Amino acid sequence: MTDPAEIEEAILRLVAERPDKTIDPAAVARAVAGDGSEQWGPVMQPLRRVAVRLAKEGRLVIYRKGRPVDPDDFKGVYRLGPARLD
């Protein structure tokens, strides 16, 4: 099991490295667990929970189809971006 604090650190670091872009959650999972799908695949659900918490705290934004979404109500493919200042 991957530590949520480790996932949080990886999300925030990767988002900060690309402040003008969004990032794929799978890139975070790979950074935490390794490149093989059997390694990073199991990290995706814990990663989603951490991303939702961070979005609720205002520390990042979850995007779906290029638009910010409600962290409590989104499905499917999503991306992560830095917190908006506006």
* Residue (of 75, 73, 61) closest to 21 by Cα position: 61
pTM of the model: 0.92
User: CA angle, corner 21, sides to 17 and 24, nearest 5?
Assistant: 85
For 42-73, write each residue's pLDDT tens digit: 999 999 999 999 999 999 999 999 999 999 99
Domains with residue ranges and CATH for the chain:
4-82 (1.10.10.10)
Burial of 19 (0-12, 13-18, 19+ CB in 10 A): exposed
Tokens 């604090």 belong to: 5
